[in-house]
């Protein structure tokens, strides 16, 4: 333990020398704390005030596909985005002490503990039923393909003169985890890169203390991400330096330094946080290997396939297909990712509007449905809730079971109120149960108890996967509360 602490302190001293040699200026007001085995923390050595400039970093000090010794080979192989940066990181790591970034790279972990590099059996078991269950398996498949198609040929071409062990699939996945958890969009010339010092700040949702910006930053606008890696599910959330679009793509580098500026006061001794974006726990664990308790951006998804499974357990397959088709003809769809269509359940348990509308249509009485399909095309509007308003009005006019609440129906809250019907809520309760069953036989209370007893330092994978499971299952509990409030005291009837 003492040896590990001494080695960490040595690496930090070497990094500080490296910063001085490369023109990276870090204010004495920031202290870099390497005493935690889980990683570096940046702290305030003295009180920090909004507007304080605490560091400047020359763009040339950043490790990018342009600045690496492998730049020519990367360009010749026409690698772009995340793949190009991952090759740059692998190449510089392979150079060891000869790499200009050696002291910086030595400060980084071998890999970030994201599910991509968890042993396959462990990932399967720990993530069963969660939002990451399928994604991690797909990631691995895509990255293996990328390695076979791009990295192996580059290595075999001899252009880089590297030891094949340094470009193995395992090393590729490790470098990829660093790129996914630490890279920034710098500017259109450098693209995405590793920014020494800037990548030492940890994340806190909606409570960051620092912003990264360039010296001539006038526009204060985030840059466009040049991202071609299909497995990089949350590329939108990547932290960016500000004003990166000031030079056109492919033009010469902008030589202004990147700056780190305080945007929220920090007391002496407190940790100085950045934000990596507004992300739920699934995205945080997927990309960065950690989670946050009580994360307001958490969601849980219900696949359309689960909805149709529920529907066919009550109605016929024909009924299911016809109702989904009417829903689509009214202009509705779910969210899509790769080959899956799904609906989001928000942190507070509220289902995505499109899901409630689908359940409403599924439960519609056959005679009303038969009349509606003939006129549905005329109801479609650009305003999603206007379409469903038209449907409500039609149902009211057609159905014997007239609903006076339809009068004056204009705003989204009115629509939501009508969708909070007995039949929709009862379907939501069934869907919550079906979604919950994917987690296996443990109850939410079992998971909460296990989380309570779990040590984040010694059982990091278990801890963060439990936070993810518990967060998702609490949302399902809130969905049940939401749905139960809709069915209370009402008689079961068709909409
Ligand atoms: C950009 S680095 C931040 C610096 C990092 N702590 C280090 O040791 O270099 C991102 C990584 O830091 C860790 N991290 C960042 N914010 C965290 C948080 N709020 N809780 C736990 N780990 C965090 C995760 O391992 C993440 O992948």
38 occurs within a structural domain? no
> In this structure, are 326 and 471 located in the same domain?
yes
Q: Is residue 493 very low, low, confident or very high in pLDDT (cuts 50, 70, 90)?
A: very low
Supply the residue whose CA is at minimum distance from atom 15 of ligand 1.
Answer: 202
202 Cα: distance to centroid of ligand 1 (angstroms): 5
Tell me which of 216 and 354 has the higher pLDDT.
354
The C-alpha atoms of residue 134 and residue 21 are separated, in whole angstroms, by 45
pLDDT (tens digit per residue) in 396-411: 888 665 454 555 556 6
Supply the residue whose CA is at minimum distance from atom 26 of ligand 1.
Answer: 288
What mean pLDDT, rounded, does the chain reach?
88
DSSP H stretches of helix in 22-159: 71-76, 81-94, 102-107, 120-127, 133-146, 152-156
Tell me which of 338 and 260 has the higher pLDDT.
260
Q: How many residues does the chain have?
A: 495
Round the CA-based radius of gyration of the chain to a whole number and report it.
26
Q: Which of 362, 360, 353 is nearest to 385 (CA)?
A: 353
Encoded tokens for 139: 């990631």
User: Is the complex ipTM more than 0.90?
Assistant: yes
Global pTM reads 0.89
Q: What is the pLDDT of residue 103?
A: 98
Supply the residue whose CA is at minimum distance from atom 20 of ligand 1.
Answer: 290
- 94 lies in which domain range? 57-111+135-281
Q: What is the pLDDT of residue 187?
A: 87
In this structure, the strands spanning 202-203 and 273-274 are parallel
> In this structure, are 71 and 199 located in the same domain?
yes
168 occurs within a structural domain? yes
Tell me the percentage of the chain whose pLDDT exceeds 90: 73
> In this structure, are 266 and 310 located in the same domain?
no
> In this structure, are 75 and 182 located in the same domain?
yes
> In this structure, are 335 and 224 located in the same domain?
no
* Long-range Cβ contact pairs of 136-140 (< 8 A, separation 24 or more): 136/286, 138/231, 138/338, 139/231, 139/233, 140/116, 140/173
b/e for 288-310, b at 16 or more Cβ within 10 A?
bbbbbeebebbbbbbbbebbbeb
476 Cα: distance to centroid of ligand 1 (angstroms): 28
Q: How far is CA 66 from CA 266, 338, 495, in A?
A: 35, 31, 61
> In this structure, are 308 and 274 located in the same domain?
no
Continuous segment of H or E residues that includes residue 202: strand 202-203
294 occurs within a structural domain? no
Mean pLDDT of 364-378: 89
Total number of domains constituting the chain = 2
Pocket residues: Cβ below 6 A from ligand 1: 39-40, 112, 181-182, 199-204, 288-290
CATH label of the domain that carries residue 374: 3.90.1420.10
Q: What is the pLDDT of residue 264?
A: 97
The C-alpha atoms of residue 264 and residue 464 are separated, in whole angstroms, by 28
Q: Is residue 217 very low, low, confident or very high in pLDDT (cuts 50, 70, 90)?
A: very low
Mutation pick for ligand 1 pocket among 112, 288, 294, 456 (CB with most ligand atoms within 8 Å): 288
Positive or negative, the CA dihedral 469, 342, 176, 34 is negative
Q: What is the pLDDT of residue 275?
A: 96
Supply the residue whose CA is at minimum distance from atom 24 of ligand 1.
Answer: 288
Residues 198, 200, 206, 210, Cα dihedral to 10°: -40
> In this structure, are 310 and 444 located in the same domain?
yes
288 Cα: distance to centroid of ligand 1 (angstroms): 7
pLDDT (tens digit per residue) in 284-300: 999 999 999 999 999 99
Q: How far is CA 73 from CA 79, 186, 189, 229, in A?
A: 9, 21, 17, 19
């Amino acid at each position: 333990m003492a040896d590990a602490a001494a080695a960490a302190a040595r690496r930090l001293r070497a990094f500080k020398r490296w910063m001085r040699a490369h023109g990276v200026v870090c204010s004495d007001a920031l202290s870099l704390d390497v005493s935690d085995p889980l990683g570096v923390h940046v702290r305030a050595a003295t009180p920090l005030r909004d507007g304080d400039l605490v560091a400047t970093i020359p763009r040339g000090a950043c490790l990018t596909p342009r600045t690496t010794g492998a730049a020519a080979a990367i360009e010749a192989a026409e690698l772009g985005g995340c793949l190009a940066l991952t090759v740059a990181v692998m190449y510089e790591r392979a150079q060891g002490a000869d790499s200009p970034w050696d002291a910086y790279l030595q400060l980084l972990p071998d890999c970030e503990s994201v599910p991509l590099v968890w042993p396959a059996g462990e990932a399967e078991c720990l993530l069963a039923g969660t939002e990451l269950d399928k994604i991690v398996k797909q990631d691995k498949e895509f990255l293996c393909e990328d390695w076979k198609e791009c990295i192996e040929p580059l290595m075999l071409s001899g252009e880089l003169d590297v030891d094949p062990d340094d470009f193995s699939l395992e090393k590729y996945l490790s470098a990829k985890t660093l790129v996914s958890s630490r890279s920034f969009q710098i500017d259109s010339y450098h693209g995405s890169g590793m920014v020494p010092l800037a990548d030492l700040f940890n994340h806190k949702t909606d409570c960051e203390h620092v912003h990264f910006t360039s010296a001539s930053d006038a526009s204060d606008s985030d840059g466009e991400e040049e991202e071609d890696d299909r497995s990089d599910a949350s590329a939108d959330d990547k932290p960016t330096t500000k004003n990166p679009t000031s030079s056109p793509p492919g033009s010469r580098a902008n030589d202004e330094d990147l700056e780190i500026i305080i945007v929220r006061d920090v007391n002496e001794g407190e940790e100085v946080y950045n934000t990596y974006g507004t992300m739920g726990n699934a995205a945080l664990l997927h990309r960065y290997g950690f989670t946050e308790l009580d994360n307001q951006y958490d969601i849980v998804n219900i696949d359309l396939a689960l909805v149709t499974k529920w529907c066919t357990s009550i109605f016929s397959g024909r009924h299911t297909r016809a109702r989904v088709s009417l829903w689509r003809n009214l202009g509705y769809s779910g969210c899509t990712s790769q080959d899956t269509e799904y609906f989001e359940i928000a942190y507070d348990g509220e289902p995505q509007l499109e899901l409630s509308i689908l359940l409403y249509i599924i439960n519609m009485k056959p005679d009303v449905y038969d009349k509606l399909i003939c006129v549905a095309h005329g109801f479609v509007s650009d305003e999603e809730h206007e379409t469903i308003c038209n449907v409500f009005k039609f149902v009211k006019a057609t159905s014997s079971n007239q609903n006076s609440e339809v009068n004056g129906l204009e705003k989204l809250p009115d629509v939501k109120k009508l969708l909070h019907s007995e039949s929709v809520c009862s379907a939501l309760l069934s869907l919550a149960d079906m979604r919950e069953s994917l987690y296996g036989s443990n109850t939410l209370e079992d998971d909460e108890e296990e989380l309570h007893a779990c040590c984040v330092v010694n059982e990091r994978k278990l801890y963060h996967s439990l936070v993810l499971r518990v967060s998702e299952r609490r949302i399902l509990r809130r969905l049940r509360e939401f749905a139960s409030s809709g069915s209370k005291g009402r008689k079961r009837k068709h909409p």
